[in-house]
């Protein structure tokens, strides 16, 4: 394990109680208040802006674990939202972080952030959901999904071999032709997502290469977990939560975000005009400043 530093992002690997490895990236000074960041689908903990000066000013460190089968994290064949919440709790123990932490989640990472807060409430002081999704396999949430997302869940559950083959093929493209592959994805994106991804192209390219490690197994298992019953109740989240969403989000339209906010005790929603699914990248400073305020209020 590399020695902790207060400068550049530091890759770490820890051992989990069952013998698996958990890889993560630490941003900031290990002496500062910890925040756990849950990455998006098909990505990794490398997807964060590197702003050491901002974190130093706010006295925060960001711990961005890679889910099983991503980056340096071992594959886990029956990944669930609760199982990864337990992995993160074990990570905090291994890093000797005893008190409650902040938690963030982008896209499907928002559901993983909710699972951590619901399953380990003493571990979470405050949360932020950034362009978050709903758990596709929860019957109550399913009724609020768009026809497209219902169709995608049906395909993932009904034809798992096709999805496994697709993610295997994509893993090869990311490994062999990363620049060509991200350019291909940018051409398929909605305009706002394409604009931001182009600006942060190298960052998101490298995050995706790590995301599709292990022959795409982690992406497939993450999709399967997302489509199964979530294994936790959103209403069990007790920490204060804030939601950030763009009204031009082409991946997850904002229509059901008020529904999610109601289930979180009418959590405040910051709806940003003209912004899309990648809003966390362009609003990172304001997001991290809000987290510092939330943690300050919690203590």
Domain-by-domain residue ranges, the chain? 10-298
For the stretch 75-95, pLDDT in tens is: 998 899 999 999 999 999 999
Residue with tokens 């890759």: 11
Buried b (16+ CB within 10 A) or exposed e, 88-109: bbbbbeebebeebbbbbbbbbb
Query: What torsion do the CA atoms of 132, 133, 138, 144 make, to the nearest 10 degrees?
Result: 120
72 vs 211: CA distance, rounded Å: 10
- Find the range with the poorest average confidence among 74-78, 206-210, 262-266: 74-78
Is pLDDT at 136 greater than 80 in this prediction?
A: yes
Q: What is the CA radius of gyration of the chain?
A: 18
The answer to whether 13 touches 1, Cβ cutoff 8 Å, is yes
Taking domain 10-298, whether its CATH number is 3.40.50.450 is answered by: no
What pLDDT is attached to residue 59?
98
Mean pLDDT of all residues in 14-37: 97
What pLDDT is attached to residue 69?
98
Side-chain half-sphere exposure of 208, counting CA atoms within 13 A? 24
For the stretch 152-168, pLDDT in tens is: 999 999 999 999 999 99
The answer to whether 242 touches 266, Cβ cutoff 8 Å, is no
């Amino acid at each position: 394990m590399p020695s902790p530093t207060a400068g550049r992002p530091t890759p770490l690997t820890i051992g989990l109680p069952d013998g698996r490895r958990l890889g993560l990236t630490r941003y900031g000074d290990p002496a500062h208040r910890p925040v756990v960041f849950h990455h998006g689908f098909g990505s990794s903990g490398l997807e964060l802006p590197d702003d050491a000066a901002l974190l130093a000013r706010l006295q925060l460190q960001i711990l961005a674990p890679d889910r099983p089968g991503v980056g340096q994290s071992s594959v886990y064949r029956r990944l669930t939202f609760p199982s990864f919440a337990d992995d993160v709790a074990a990570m905090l123990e291994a890093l000797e972080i005893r008190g409650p932490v902040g938690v963030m989640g982008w896209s499907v990472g928002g559901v993983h952030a909710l699972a951590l807060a619901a399953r380990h409430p003493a571990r979470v002081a405050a949360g932020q959901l950034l362009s978050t999704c709903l758990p596709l396999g929860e019957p109550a949430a399913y009724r609020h999904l768009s026809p497209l997302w219902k169709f995608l869940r049906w395909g993932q559950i009904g034809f798992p071999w096709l999805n496994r083959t697709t993610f295997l093929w994509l893993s090869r493209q990311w490994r062999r032709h990363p620049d060509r592959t991200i350019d291909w994805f940018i051409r398929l994106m909605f305009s706002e997502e394409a604009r931001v991804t182009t600006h942060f192209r190298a960052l998101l390219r490298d995050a995706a290469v790590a995301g599709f490690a292990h022959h795409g197994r982690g992406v497939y298992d993450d999709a399967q977990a997302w489509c199964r019953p979530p294994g936790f109740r959103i209403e069990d989240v007790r920490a204060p939560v804030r939601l950030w969403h763009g009204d031009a989000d082409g991946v997850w339209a904002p229509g059901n975000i008020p529904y999610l906010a109601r289930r979180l005790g009418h959590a405040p929603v910051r709806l940003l005009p003209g912004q899309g699914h990648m809003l966390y990248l362009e609003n990172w400073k304001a997001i991290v400043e809000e987290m510092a305020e939330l943690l300050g209020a919690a203590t």
